[in-house]
Amino acid sequence: MEELISQNETGIIMIPDISGFTDFVINTNIFIGKYITENLLKSIIDSNNLSFKVSEIEGDAVLFYKYRKIPSFDDTLAQIVVMYKNFKKELGRLSLELTMEISLSLKIIVHYGSFTQYTIGRFKKLYGATVVEAHQMLKNHMAKFPPYALFSEAFLKANFEQPAQSIIEYDNCDNCIYLAKIGYIHYL
């Protein structure tokens, strides 16, 4: 039992999630949609400058995590900007290549806390309240206004380099009953 308890670590969870995905899948040819989705998710994964591990790809989202050596707010924000710019660049390239408008955007969730992993066969899954809370943050009132990044208060407090108050706004996550305030930033 003591071995099990020691496997629980604190870390960061980051979830880049494609907004508008459900309508896109329903209204797009399956092969074209698959091609677009693969390329957009690849652009996100290839933008991983902070060496996050990929836990899994969840349809239209990538579940990244990192234990220890938590990046600063500024480094995390720079990572998010790179992901967003590369996503947007790839979206533009695909729109030109396929001569079609692709109405997708990106939102990114950043949370911090304790979580662990379990393995079933060759699959490793993250487990813990922190993982559930990060997913709950995806369901928020700002869903109609992507692109944006949401930072949990837990991440902001764990980060020793606090962001300037003028950069970040705070709100309550209506569906996040286990979280206090969340901070958010709208991309330019």
The domains located in the chain, with CATH, are 2-186 (3.30.70.1230)
pTM of the model: 0.85
Q: For 14-53, what is each residue's pLDDT tens digit?
A: 999 999 998 999 999 999 999 999 999 999 999 999 999 9
List the beta strands (DSSP E) in the chain: 9-19, 53-57, 62-67, 105-120, 123-127, 148-152, 169-172, 181-186
Model pLDDT, residue 152: 82
Model pLDDT, residue 8: 74
141: tokens are 């009132």
